[in-house]
Structure 1
Amino acid sequence: MSLPHILVVDDDPEILRLLGKYLEGQGFRCSLAANRRACEEKIADSRVALVVLDVMLPDGSGLDICRDLKERRPEIAIILLTALKEDVDRIIGLELGADDYLGKPFNPRELAARIRAVLRRSGESASERPADPGLYTFEAFTVDPERRLVGAPDGEEIELTGAEFDLLMIFLERPGRVLSRDILMDLLHGRTADPFDRSVDVTMSRLRRKFNDNGVFRLFKTVRNGGYQFAARVERRAGGPS
C-alpha cells in the first residue's frame, strides 16, 4: 500500500525542512512548496492526498488556493496553517471548504495527528471501511458512503467537501438525536470544542446551503441550548452500482 502523499506549502524554509523531515518520519510521503506556483506544479505532477497550506504566501493567498483547489480537485483534503489571531481567515477558510486548520505556532505531533484524522475521514484508510456500507436515503436524497457520493432528488450530484460529507454521515448514523457542538467537534475533528471555535457551525452552514436548507431547516434543525438534529427519516438499503 502506497504512503499517503502530503504536500506542505509554506514560505518559511525552516518550517518546510522541519515538517518535511518530521512527516516522513511519521510514515508519510512528503513534498514541499514555498509558494503558490510550486504548489500548483506539485499538484499537477503527482497524486496528492492532503495539502498543509499556509494562509500567507509571497505570491498569493492560501485562501485563494483553498477555494480554487476545492473547486477543481475536491478530493484533495486541506489543512490551513494560520496565525493564532487570524480568526477571520480560519472562518473564511472553513467556508471555502478547508477540512481543518491549525494555528501557529504548533506542535508537529499535533499536525501529524490532524493529518491522520482528516485522511481517515476522507477515506484514505480503506481498510477501516466496511466492505459494503450500503446506501442511506432520506427525502429522496441518496448517500453512498463507500463512494462518498450524494444524489439529489433530481438525479444531480451534490458536491460536498470532505468535512461536509463527514458531518452529514455523523447525522445519518444518528437520525433524530440532538448532537451538541462538543459531540460534533469530537466526532468531526477528534478534539474538544472551545468557545471561539466555529468550525462546526461553519460546516453546518455550508451543508445546509448545499441542501437548500438555509432558513427552512427541515433537514437540519437547530435545538436551542442543545445543538443540531437531523430531522428527516433515514433508511438503509443494500448498495450497488448506480
Structure 2
Amino acid sequence: MSDPAASPLPIRCLLVDDDPSIRELLTGFLQPFGMRLDAVADGAAMRQRLPSHDVDVLLLDLMLPGESGLDLCQWVKRVQPSLPVIMLTAQGDTLSRVLGLELGADDYLPKPFEPRELVARIRAVRRGAWATPQAQAQASVAVRIGGWRFDRVQRRLYDPEGVMHTLSAAEYRLLVAFVDHPDQALSRDRLLELTRAPGVEANERSIDLAVSRLRHKLGDPDAQHGLIRTLRGTGYLFAPRRAAP
C-alpha cells in the first residue's frame, strides 16, 4: 500500500457541525494544507453524503441537532469501521470524550481549537489509517529536535531532561511549519502562509519575533549553525538532524 504522504491527492474530509461559522472557516483554512473539506450541518445530511462521497477523515461535532455525535460515531464505525473519526467536543467535557473513544473515535479535539492543530491531528489519524497494525503500534507523533522532543498533537515540548515547556500559539504553529519542512529554505512570506491563523494579523516582523522566542526556548540561539538558521535575504532553514549538544 502506498504512502498517502507521497500522494498528490488531497485528503478528503467531511465535517459535521451545525455552526455555519466553523464550516466556513475550516473550508477555507484546510485547502492550503492539501485537504478538501465537505461540510454538513447534521447527522441526516452526513448519512446521505457518506455513501456517495469518498471520505478519508470524518470530523464529527459532539453536540448536534437530532442525533448526537456519539450516536453518529457508533453508526459510522459499524458501517465504515476503517474511516478515521475525529470528534470535536466542548472544553472540559471529559466524559463525552471517553465515551467517544470507547465508541471508536480515533481522536478528539476540544473547542475552541487552534485550526493548525486540527491539521496535525488529521494528518496523524490519516497516517494511522494507512499503516499496518505493526506500524500503528510503533508510530509516534513525537518528533526529535536535537536533544528535544516535540509532541505535535499534544502540543508539548520536552527538553533533554524530560521537562515540559509550554508553547504559545504562534510558537506552536511556527514549530509545526518547520517540522513539516525540514532542511528547506523558507521565506518569511512562505512562513506567514504556513502559520496563518484566522482573525490574527501577522507580518514578517511577527515571524522574526516568533523565531527569536523559539530559539530562546530551545536554548539554541546560533543563527548560523543551530536548529533554526537565518538565510540572509531568504528567510530561515530548520535543521532538525543537527547533533544534540
TM-score range, shorter chain: 0.5 to 0.7
Q: Tell me what 2:13 maps to.
A: 6
Equivalent residues in 2 for 1:1-242, closer than 5 Å: 1-123=8-130, 145=132, 166=136, 168-169=137-138, 192=156
| Distance in 2 separating the partners of 1:24 and 1:8 | 14
Q: Which amino acid aligns with 1:32?
A: A
CA deviation after TM superposition for structure 1 residue 2, in Å = 2.3
Identify the structure with bigger relative contact order (alpha carbons < 8 Å, sequence gap 6+).
1
CA deviation after TM superposition for structure 1 residue 98, in Å = 0.6
Give TM-score scaled by structure 2 length. Answer: 0.53
Give TM-score scaled by structure 1 length. Answer: 0.53
Q: Flag as ranges the 4+ runs of structure 1 deviating above 2 A.
A: 189-193
| Distance in 1 separating the partners of 2:50 and 2:155 | 29
Cα contact 1:35–1:58 (8 A) shared by 2: yes
| Distance in 2 separating the partners of 1:107 and 1:169 | 27
CA deviation after TM superposition for structure 1 residue 192, in Å = 4.8
Q: Per the alignment, do residues 11 and 114 of structure 1 end up closer, same or farther by CA in structure 2, a change over 3 Å counting?
A: same
Q: Per the alignment, do residues 64 and 118 of structure 1 end up closer, same or farther by CA in structure 2, a change over 3 Å counting?
A: same
Q: Tell me what 1:132 maps to.
A: none
**Runs of 5+ consecutive residues of structure 1 not aligned to the other structure:** 124-128, 130-144, 150-164, 171-182, 194-242
Q: Which amino acid aligns with 2:109?
A: L
| Distance in 1 separating the partners of 2:80 and 2:25 | 27
Tell me the secondary structure at the aligned position of residue 2 of structure 1: coil
Tell me the secondary structure at the aligned position of residue 70 of structure 1: helix
| Distance in 2 separating the partners of 1:110 and 1:45 | 28
CA deviation after TM superposition for structure 1 residue 112, in Å = 0.8
CA deviation after TM superposition for structure 1 residue 38, in Å = 1.0
| Distance in 2 separating the partners of 1:98 and 1:75 | 11
Tell me the secondary structure at the aligned position of residue 109 of structure 2: strand
Alpha-carbon RMSD: 2.6
**Runs of 5+ consecutive residues of structure 2 not aligned to the other structure:** 1-7, 140-148, 158-245
Cα contact 1:117–1:190 (8 A) shared by 2: no
| Distance in 2 separating the partners of 1:192 and 1:92 | 25
Q: Per the alignment, do residues 9 and 95 of structure 1 end up closer, same or farther by CA in structure 2, a change over 3 Å counting?
A: same
How many residue pairs get aligned? The number is 142
Query: Between the two proteins, what is the percent identity of the paired residues?
Result: 41
